[in-house]
Structure 1
Amino acid sequence: MAQSVHRDPASTAGQSHRKQDDEGLDLLHLLSTLWQGKWFIAGCVAVALLIAGYYAFRVAVPRYSATANLALQMRSQLVNEVDNAAATIAPEFSAMYTELEVITSRRIIEETVRKLELTKDPEFNPLLREPPALSVEGMKRGLRALIGSDLPSAPENLITDDEAAFSATVSAVRGAVAADTKRYTYIFNITATSEDPRKSALIANSVAETYIENQIAVKYEAVEQAISWLSERVVALESELKDKEDAIKALRSETDLINADTLEALNRQAKDNRDRLQETRISATEAHARLGRLLAMRDAADLDTLTKTLNDPTLTRLLAEVKAGTENGRHLYDSRLELLLTRARTAAERLDAQAGALEQALERLQTQIATQADDLTKLVQMERDAQATSVLYDTFLSRLKETTVQRGLQQADVRVISEATRGRYVEPRKSMILGIAMVLGAVLGTMVILLRQFLFKGFRTADELSKFSGVAVLGQIPRIPIKSRSELIPYLVDKPTSAAAEAVRNLRTSILLSDLDNPPKVIMSTSSIPAEGKTTQAIALAHNLSGLGKRVLLVEGDIRRRTFTKYFTKASPHGVLSVLAGSVPLADAVVHDDLVNADVLMGEKTNVNAADVFSSETFHAFVRDARQHYDFIIIDTPPVLVVPDARVIAQSVDAVVFSVSWDSTTKAQVAEGLEQFRIVNQKVTGLVLSQIDPVRMKRYGYGGKYGAYSQYGNAYYGL
């Protein structure tokens, strides 16, 4: 098998992917991509400018803005140094920003709408305007007008209490009014925008006037509310103070109160009782513990330890008699022991009774202390509450008198320093709209170009294909301009100088020169997936080789689809399987096509798996025998990613030509197809970039660079 001129895809796959990543970040590559799509970007810019220009000069309505200026009066007190019940505007900027929201609040705008009767103005009342032609209501009106139906006319006057119309008008006016402050000053700017310059000034001045009137009204209302609330609180506090004083008198008359010294003496007595109770409980516990130990020793019959613990001389003597074995010693010992145990039990019970008596006495004493303490605490608390209520009553009474004086002294915290005059033109800003449109058009076009480049997964140039795969590209074949497969051979015969024919010649030269020492004789044509032009390439290559005066055999290795009958008019009842089975000699099975000037061995239908047929020694022998009778053998095989036939046939050929459809086959499919050959240790001689569209190549910006579809090559090719 001839040595190929390609690099091993397995050894260069990582390098290829790294090169691709580097290219993806290459600024020159990015600029080249954008330059190739420059006309598309220019078109996007032109469309954006047309749309923006139409909007700015034909659709957009001119609008005018007028501004009224208000100044905050820096004062903190009212006349006669009386504290103000209605809050004034604080000089902090947070408070000023709050006032800006008040100026544009719905309440102020509603008063302005009523004052200027803006519900009758179509600019702000959408119910008085004709609906746009492209809206649903506009299309309904147009349809009615087309069929001759009478349409109700818009009312001349709008009822001002119509809630929907009034709400819509207020919302529109709020959108047309804005307020801000001058930096580092206490100046408010009220700006109104309208289609009429005089109307904008009228609205701005009206909002300023309404805001000032609202400030005075709010302050007066706040003073009245303060007076009313203070009056109610004074009356309530007076009644509350009287009730608390009466309650103190009643408590003093109903309770036998003591002083703090007496309570302290009772507490000392209670402490002494608690100490005695604790000592008695400890003694009782020890007595019960001793009794328990004695009973345990008695039950265990430990007489020595029991006698020693009781330390009773009589019991000790009787224990000696028990040990001596006297007749009545055990009985006397038990009687004496029971007497001693009874004394111990009685002593423990006496201590328990003493502890109980002390505990009851302590509880009675604590109850007395708690009752006396509660009465004293309640009295002190009532006196404090009464005193606090008295102070609060005096404070509120004084505040009520001061607030009453403030009636009639209210004035606004701001004043008008400059009324709005005829509005100035503000929009549409035509130059800005056109500039933004130009930028947006360029950005949109650039994004489309880059997105298309990013999403593109195929190949458009031989250089891209070679760098990705690490395999040499032997040829680049343009799309042949035929409508059916039956037109392929007549086209190759009738147009021997066409771009496609010249591309096949270049491919033939690359294949034959791929190994000068041992030129390939058996050439296989395959691809990753169907419809990549491998069969067209095989037939064109056979026709081109036969033009050199060589004996050429074209074998249909894709016996699953058997498409040769759509290319050749002659057919034989026998094919590849008949030859392999030995039922028909090769010479009788082939069909000589006069146009191609080559022998064609077509495929046959079979129930046997095609991969098993081509894996047999019979097929290898068939190829060896065919080498003796033909100068070149071209085998068209199925796609490698569909069935394994191509990888099996590749074991018997000298060169594997792998077709990749231009701008169609994805990188993943090419990589997987080459990987299938690498798995079986079969090298791919080279790749062919097929079905190239010259028109689209020029559109992509590659028309002046590459081979048979380049602009400078047109003079060398026939039609």
Structure 2
Amino acid sequence: MIRDRNDLLIGAQKVAPSGNDEIDLGALLRTLWRGKLWIILCSLIALAAGGYYALFLATPLYTTTASVALESRQEQVVDIESVMSGLSGDQVTINTEVEVLRSRRLIGKVVDDLNLVADPDFNATLRDPPWLSLDAIGNVIGRAATSDPIQSDQAIRDAVINAVLEQITVSNVRQSYVFNISVVTGDPVKSAQIANKLAELYVEDQIVLKFEKTAEATEWLTERVADLQIELETSESQLKDFSSNTDLISPEGLIALNRQLKDLRDRQVDVAAAAATHRARVAELNAARAANDPAQMATIAADARLDQLMTDDDPEAFQQRFEEVLARAIIESNRSEAQQEAIALSILELTDSIQTQSDELVALQQLQRETEASRLIYEFFLSRLKETSVQQGLQQAESRILSSAVMPHQPSAPRKTLILVFSLVLGVIGGAGLVLLREVSQNTFRTPEDLEERTGYAVCGQIPLVPARDRKKVLQYLQDKPNSAVAEAVRNLRTSLLLANLDKPPKVIMSTSSVPGEGKTTQSTALALNLAGLGKKVLLIEGDIRRRVMNTYFDVPEQRGFLSVMLGETTLDEAVTHIPDMHFDVLFGEKSQTNAADIFSSDRFGAFVDELRDRYDYIIIDTPPVLAVADARIIGRWVDTIIYTVRWDHTSRRQVMDGLRSFEQVNVKVSGLVLGQISDRGMKRYGYGESYGAYQTYYDA
């Protein structure tokens, strides 16, 4: 019974891929070390570029600084309050003064005083166009140069002010009232001139501003004093006219009138009571007379004569006397009424007089107050006008020049040492970035460690690139140079395969790859030659019957081969070709219309492999690429070991992973990977020369 031999695969152990997502610092450093030549090259290029810029291209710049200090205390010549208050010295004021120093108005004065509009360093319209400008290029190709529109004088001045502002820096020294005015230009003389001129104009501007404000205040006060004088004269005239046109007494006289009014009102009460008494007596007397009762009349009249006449019993005399008493009572009552009316009239007249004089007094006092207020205001403004006039000759700046700018003798920029250091650092960073970018963007395999980590399969061999262009010279090279690096790599591969399972060493070995051109056929022939060198009986089978390239390695005539044996058209002995000088047999492929997959999946092929196990010590089957056709996955069921070849720095990672995955999908185990066609020069170029080429002294060239 033919068995599925894949369960006998040896060495089919997978390397657990690293599950750590953290950055491997050691791997990163090794990558940078491998790319040290690129880093050194980039550093040298950056250093050369920086040196060339610092020495030949960069324009020397000269920096100079003038210092200005705010005066927190002002000299007080006279005790007169200034029109403009002094600077407070707080942070807001300091920041404001910094902006004043950088104001376009002040910088404009510097531009005008130094005539910087006529300086090509600041006026771009006076400079020749650069040789790479559009106009220069247009002149070279014969095109008419495009002229810029003519700018106005104000626009040019504004542009010059902007240029000067870009070269001025104003800063405040911490915890002080000192400002540093730094100017950077390409001319040391201009730098000092601009810094000193700005400091001078700043101090002068404070004095000029005070003069202007004082003059404005004086002009305003003069006009205001004239108006106030007119107002005062008008008020005094109104007060005089009012005083002359009124009979107003003094306030003390008005108080006496009020006291007299009070006395009249008190007297009016008494007179009213007396008048009421008299009216009552007249009424009683009239009532007694009407009653015609002598006794009652005598009692009410209360007159002694009348009492006597009533005793004498003289009615006529009694009546006459009673009439006299009544007449007197009526006269007294009339007198009281007249007196009461006179007092009421006097009270009314006196009240009117008091009210009139009170109103006139209030008006007078109001006029007096207004006149006094006008006089006080006029005197205050007149005094302030005189003080302001005096201040015009006593104005002081609230700052002073602490130190003038001196002409620098050495340029402040470019800082050549700093540029070189920065260029070197930038070159190192750029080189490291380039190395890391190449490493990250790498889509192939260059080291066995990378191959193992990415695929999870162990690498059992590393085969260098054979230095022979003709395939027929490959085996001859291995025979002539048994101690070469290629021969030693094949021996290492053989050792890895044979020692992978000492209890059951493999006999049937299959070689495959992802795509054509990865060197699996060269590897199969080299492995057959190496195994035959051990005195073993070895058969090399060309399982890739579609391409049939095995005959290009051997100088033998074409004959029947593998397909003829499988179809029963010839015997194995007749189809096998023995290579005398290499001591192993080869079973070549044949051109046929038969589907190769049907042949490899048949039981006849399994029986054929079992037959070969009995006749040979080792059978090596060179199969087609696994991504091209399914033959390798089918043949893999009957072999002991599967070697998967990956071409160094050529086969993409995706192709390798897809090829390995195709074996896993059919439960066929790959024993190990071989990194083939490794270029010694390429390894050195990528920085792997130390690890790969360290043992070259042990090999023949």
**Partner SS state of residue 406, structure 2:** coil
8 Å contact 2:183–2:194 — kept in the other structure?
A: yes
Matched, 1:51 2:49: yes
Cα distance in 2 for partners of 1:525, 1:184 equals 82
Higher mean Cα deviation, 524-533 or 652-661? Answer: 524-533
Matched, 1:516 2:502: yes
Aligned equivalent of 1:63 = 61
Deviation at 1:179, TM superposition (A): 0.7
Q: 1:582 to 1:225 in 2, by over 3 A?
A: farther
CA deviation profile, 1:23-55 (whole Å, cap 9, x unmatched): x4244x443333333343333333333222222
- The code of the aligned residue for 1:598 comes to D
- Which of 682, 685, 703 in structure 1 is aligned with 2:668? 682
**Partner SS state of residue 689, structure 2:** coil
Cα distance in 2 for partners of 1:400, 1:592 equals 133
Deviation at 1:479, TM superposition (A): 0.9
Higher mean Cα deviation, 620-629 or 61-70? Answer: 620-629
- Which of 421, 440, 458 in structure 1 is aligned with 2:406? 421
CA deviation profile, 1:152-203 (whole Å, cap 9, x unmatched): xxxxxxx995566544433332222111111111112111122332221111
Cα distance in 2 for partners of 1:441, 1:588 equals 68
Aligned equivalent of 2:623 = 637
Cα distance in 2 for partners of 1:25, 1:593 equals 51
Cα distance in 2 for partners of 1:574, 1:114 equals 104
- Which of 167, 172, 182 in structure 2 is aligned with 1:181? 172
In the alignment, structure 1 segments of 5+ residues that lack a partner are 152-158, 236-393
Aligned equivalent of 2:521 = 535
Q: 1:401 to 1:498 in 2, by over 3 A?
A: farther
Deviation at 1:429, TM superposition (A): 1.8
CA deviation profile, 1:457-476 (whole Å, cap 9, x unmatched): 54444344445555443221
The TM-score with structure 2 as length reference comes to: 0.65
Deviation at 1:649, TM superposition (A): 1.0
Once the two structures are superposed, the pairs formed by residues 2-21 of structure 1 within 5 Å of their partners are: 6=11, 8-9=13-14, 12-13=15-16, 16-18=17-19, 21=21
CA deviation profile, 1:416-467 (whole Å, cap 9, x unmatched): 2332222353222222222222322222233333333344454444344445
- The code of the aligned residue for 1:33 comes to T
Matched residue count = 534
Once the two structures are superposed, the pairs formed by residues 515-594 of structure 1 within 5 Å of their partners are: 515-564=501-550, 566-568=552-554, 570=556, 572=558, 575-592=561-578
Q: 1:412 to 1:574 in 2, by over 3 A?
A: farther
Q: 1:702 to 1:419 in 2, by over 3 A?
A: closer
**Partner SS state of residue 480, structure 1:** coil
Aligned equivalent of 1:507 = 493
Deviation at 1:652, TM superposition (A): 0.6
Q: 1:424 to 1:467 in 2, by over 3 A?
A: same
Q: 1:184 to 1:680 in 2, by over 3 A?
A: same
Q: 1:660 to 1:419 in 2, by over 3 A?
A: same
Aligned equivalent of 1:604 = 591
Q: 1:3 to 1:617 in 2, by over 3 A?
A: closer
Cα distance in 2 for partners of 1:222, 1:559 equals 108
Once the two structures are superposed, the pairs formed by residues 284-433 of structure 1 within 5 Å of their partners are: 409=392, 412-423=397-408, 425=410, 426-433=412-419
The TM-score with structure 1 as length reference comes to: 0.63
Q: 1:171 to 1:6 in 2, by over 3 A?
A: farther
8 Å contact 2:9–2:639 — kept in the other structure?
A: no
Aligned equivalent of 1:382 = none
Aligned equivalent of 2:634 = 648
Aligned equivalent of 1:362 = none
8 Å contact 2:579–2:585 — kept in the other structure?
A: yes
8 Å contact 1:474–1:686 — kept in the other structure?
A: yes
8 Å contact 2:563–2:589 — kept in the other structure?
A: no
Cα distance in 1 for partners of 2:697, 2:522 equals 22
Deviation at 1:581, TM superposition (A): 3.3
8 Å contact 2:551–2:588 — kept in the other structure?
A: no
Aligned equivalent of 2:604 = 618
Aligned equivalent of 1:714 = 697
CA deviation profile, 1:57-97 (whole Å, cap 9, x unmatched): 3333332222222222337999976685x786552223322
Cα distance in 2 for partners of 1:227, 1:619 equals 123
Aligned equivalent of 1:210 = 201
Aligned equivalent of 2:364 = none
- Which of 12, 26, 41 in structure 1 is aligned with 2:39? 41
**Partner SS state of residue 178, structure 1:** strand
Cα distance in 2 for partners of 1:531, 1:226 equals 99
**Partner SS state of residue 18, structure 2:** helix
- Which of 457, 460, 468 in structure 2 is aligned with 1:482? 468
**Partner SS state of residue 8, structure 1:** coil
Cα distance in 2 for partners of 1:676, 1:226 equals 99
Cα distance in 1 for partners of 2:565, 2:97 equals 100
8 Å contact 1:476–1:692 — kept in the other structure?
A: yes
- The code of the aligned residue for 1:499 comes to A
Cα distance in 2 for partners of 1:539, 1:42 equals 42
Matched, 1:698 2:684: yes
CA deviation profile, 1:524-551 (whole Å, cap 9, x unmatched): 0012344322122112222333444544
Cα distance in 1 for partners of 2:201, 2:542 equals 94
CA deviation profile, 1:343-397 (whole Å, cap 9, x unmatched): xxxxxxxxxxxxxxxxxxxxxxxxxxxxxxxxxxxxxxxxxxxxxxxxxxx9xx9
8 Å contact 1:574–1:604 — kept in the other structure?
A: no
- The code of the aligned residue for 1:25 comes to D
- The code of the aligned residue for 1:423 comes to P
Cα distance in 2 for partners of 1:607, 1:111 equals 100
Q: 1:631 to 1:411 in 2, by over 3 A?
A: same
8 Å contact 1:160–1:166 — kept in the other structure?
A: no
Aligned equivalent of 1:74 = 72
In the alignment, structure 2 segments of 5+ residues that lack a partner are 228-373
Q: 1:73 to 1:576 in 2, by over 3 A?
A: same
- Which of 422, 428, 449 in structure 2 is aligned with 1:436? 422
CA deviation profile, 1:214-260 (whole Å, cap 9, x unmatched): 5566667778999999999xx9xxxxxxxxxxxxxxxxxxxxxxxxx
8 Å contact 1:66–1:424 — kept in the other structure?
A: no
Cα distance in 2 for partners of 1:434, 1:403 equals 67
8 Å contact 2:11–2:501 — kept in the other structure?
A: no
Deviation at 1:692, TM superposition (A): 1.2
**Partner SS state of residue 427, structure 1:** coil
Deviation at 1:566, TM superposition (A): 4.7
Residue identity over aligned pairs, in percent, reads 44
**Partner SS state of residue 555, structure 1:** strand
Cα distance in 1 for partners of 2:383, 2:482 equals 115
**Partner SS state of residue 681, structure 2:** helix
Q: 1:412 to 1:630 in 2, by over 3 A?
A: same
